Amino acid sequence: MVLTDGEPLVAEESPRAVTIAHQIQTMSLLRPQKVAMREKDFGIWQEYTWEKTWDLVHIAAHGLLALGVDVGDRVSIQSENRPEWLILDFATVAVRGITVGFYPTNPTAEVEYLLTDCGSVLHLAEDQEQVDRVLEIDSSKIAGVRKILYCEPRGVRQYDDERLLAWDDFLAIGREHRLAHEHAVEDLMDQAHVDDVMTLVYTSGTTGPPKGAMLTHANVAYCMSYFDDAGLRGGRAPGNDDVQVCYLPLCHVAERIFSTFHAAHIGLTLNFAESIDTVQENLREVQPTLFFAVPRIWEKLHAGVTIKGADASAFKRLWLGFGLFLAGVIGRAKVDNGGLHTFRSRLLAAIGYPLVFRALKERLGLRRCWYAGSGAAPIAPEILEFFMGIGVPVYELYGMTENSAIATANFPGHLKLGTVGEPIGKTGRSSAFGSMRKRARSRSSIRGCLPATGTSPSRRQRPLPMTAGS
């Protein structure tokens, strides 16, 4: 299957898809006034209901059509986590385009490589710093980029480049297009196929330049179906009353699966952290019920407890020491029992909660957290035992870009420290080396390899035109 520039990345004979955009639209009808996401602006949390969120996604989708974005076109985003990221992502999906996320810190040389490699036709740069990175590139090298949207106008207003377009002006174009072409977006949404590529997620490039993994609607739907399985969380499934903090880069597949895709799938509320440096402060304000973090974040939270405890008064140090001792006993007991309480650990937890654990969890911002995950790197066992002990169940899991961020996980009753847990869904063992692999379930064949429904069909190769293959 050869894919050339300008052709949609789609297998036309595949079934029609219920896309992430469809799910946002459905949430706007079922729960129009429920809060979909919050953003802190000038010290105040600004709320977006599902009705408002879908309206903005719909307008942005019309804006993309007005600017000539076609089926299969790539729309790139370089921004910190904020509502505009989610809105443009879902708007791109709605018009059957392909979202490509960049890290906010990607320097000019990497931005040039990514823009040319993915063939972006429209780029969102958050502020002046990120706009400058694009403008520093020779325009002839990124001739395909027709428009550069920006969210923050400070410092950009005086720039004279016909490609620049402010976010508010972009939405105004979308409103005008919607008046003239009322059903254009819905018509495109209903034509989406399960094998449509909805996003390119660029890998780290440890064996060469980064390559974009092509994730389809089927990939995301498959993984979300298992990710929301109640069995993964000890019999309790996440629901629309749950709350999350969105802070890891959205260009990374894990954050999108855990936050934005998760929100669209079940209707939970997203809270955008102000920055990676304010995560703990934002956690205390939001008190999320679900939380995913890399080991560095868990270690930072744990270190904060010990450091502040060392600076406390003698009585508080003694009190905290008793609580930490209790947490260690409880944590080890739970770990030895597969993550479940024993009679003794439950009794100790009942004693420790009103005395120490409740206030400690409040300060950490995890008082309401009933499920937490850790991934992307190994984590020290004592860190997990601490959080297990105070009543924050943290489970290690594993996934990668090519399988949409989920392959194995520890879960209640089946916890083993130092491992990434058991296979999830249609994951099996390779007979040759005993390594994990996704079972094939897709009908298409690419270079003799059958991709699984949960596995990316290929990696994006440069330059265009391109061949889909590993």
3-class secondary structure, 253: helix
**Mean pLDDT highest for which of 19-28, 209-218, 310-319?**
19-28
Instruction: Please give the residue that has the higher pLDDT: either 221 or 33.
Output: 33
Burial string for 358-373 (b: 16+ CB within 10 Å, else e) reads: eebbebbbbbebbbbb
Q: Which two tokens stand for residue 323?
A: 């609580």
Q: Which residue has the tokens 């895709």?
A: 261
Q: Are 24 and 201 in contact (CB under 8 A)?
A: no
pLDDT of residue 456: 52
Q: Which two tokens stand for residue 240?
A: 């629309």
Say which CATH architecture domain 2-231+439-467 belongs to: 3-Layer(aba) Sandwich (3.40)
Report d(CA 119, CA 386) in Å as an integer: 47
Mean pLDDT of 327-338: 86
Mean pLDDT of 426-430: 46
pLDDT band at 14 (very low <50, low <70, confident <90, very high): low
Report d(CA 105, CA 250) in Å as an integer: 12
Q: Are 345 and 336 in contact (CB under 8 A)?
A: no
**Mean pLDDT highest for which of 99-103, 203-207, 324-328?**
99-103
Burial string for 441-458 (b: 16+ CB within 10 Å, else e) reads: ebeeeeeeeebbbbbbbb
pLDDT band at 234 (very low <50, low <70, confident <90, very high): low
Mean pLDDT of 205-227: 82
CA distances for 28 relative to 25, 54, 181, 188, 448, angstroms: 5, 6, 21, 19, 42
The string of pLDDT tens digits covering residues 145-166 is 999 999 999 988 888 889 999 9
pLDDT band at 425 (very low <50, low <70, confident <90, very high): low
Q: Which two tokens stand for residue 160?
A: 């004279």
Q: Are 375 and 296 in contact (CB under 8 A)?
A: no
The string of pLDDT tens digits covering residues 367-398 is 999 988 888 888 888 888 889 888 898 888 88
- Percentage of residues in the chain with pLDDT exceeding 90? 40
Gyration radius of the chain over CA positions: 23
- Percentage of residues in the chain with pLDDT exceeding 70? 86
Burial string for 383-419 (b: 16+ CB within 10 Å, else e) reads: bbbbbbbbbbbbbbbbbbbbbbbbbbbbbbeebebee
Whether 137 has a pLDDT exceeding 70, the answer reads: yes
The string of pLDDT tens digits covering residues 36-91 is 999 988 888 999 999 999 999 999 999 999 999 999 999 999 999 999 999 999 99
Q: Cα-Cα-Cα-Cα dihedral of 103, 462, 464, 222, to 10°?
A: -60
pLDDT of residue 435: 40
What predicted TM-score, i.e. pTM, was given to this entire model? Answer: 0.84
Instruction: Give me the residues paired with residue 446 across strands.
Output: 449
Whether 262 has a pLDDT exceeding 50, the answer reads: yes
Nearest to 105 by CA among 275, 254, 268, 238: 275
pLDDT of residue 18: 86
pLDDT of residue 452: 38
Domain ranges, ordered by start, for the chain = 2-231+439-467, 276-425
Nearest to 424 by CA among 395, 392, 383: 395
